[in-house]
Amino acid sequence: MIEIIPAIDLIDGKCVRLSQGDYNKKTVYNENPLEIAKMFVDAGIRRLHLVDLDGAKAHHIVNQKVLEIIATKTNLIIDFGGGLKSDEDLRIAFESGAQMITGGSIAVRNPEIFIAWIEKFGAEKIILGADVHEEKIAVGGWLESTDIELMPFIQNYMQKGIFKVICTDISKDGMLAGTSLDLYKKMLQIEPEMYLIASGGVSSIADIELLEQAKIPAVITGKAIYEGKFKLNELSRFL
């Protein structure tokens, strides 16, 4: 059974979505993210992917108050990412209620720090964020591309203990045009032990069904929910 992980992206404390990571293509869906989180709880969902887009731009945690409110007012298991660059950022995130954090840019730019986090907190609490465009890693809230190949990047961290990986295909994210199913299949063929969390492009329940049939362990979905492409109660078959 595929794990369903709804996403809430935060700018100015509001629930928003971007298209292809473009901060100029922002849609505000709700000014109170707690209302959205409670909707997920009411639908029987247990997990939440909470992204601090302000933090990703500022290179430090910004929306920890929203994290704290959702963590204290719901029973959602929250992974939190966006701008986590220091031990202090991690301390704030965990003390504010995150059970897991996602590190992307930090894993590229400061591998020593990211490896130290894995060693200190354990791979259960540290998720590798692999944002990708044409199978090359992107960083800085997708504002900067690199020449780093996707799978060698992931495999290097799997050797350090990582097993949970969120892979977001930037070209698909927020476009409601289907997921990068072939890429995810290829990734699992190379590293079948990886707990791969597919992210970007979900446009329908059928997209989730295809991922489940391909034995992708988990999927993050955001815009499809907010745009009404399916109802939350339709996810019950996966819960």
- Catalytic residue annotation: 9, 131
Nearest to 85 by CA among 65, 99, 106: 106
Q: In residues, how long is the chain?
A: 239
Beta bridge partners of 196: 165
Taking only Cα atoms into account, the Rg of the chain, rounded to an integer number of angstroms, comes to 16
CA distance 214 to 110: 33
Per the listing, tokens 């329940």 go with 205
Q: Assign residue 215 a region: left if phi > 0, alpha if psi is -120 to 50, beta otherwise?
A: left
* H/E element, 97: none
Per the listing, tokens 């709880």 go with 41
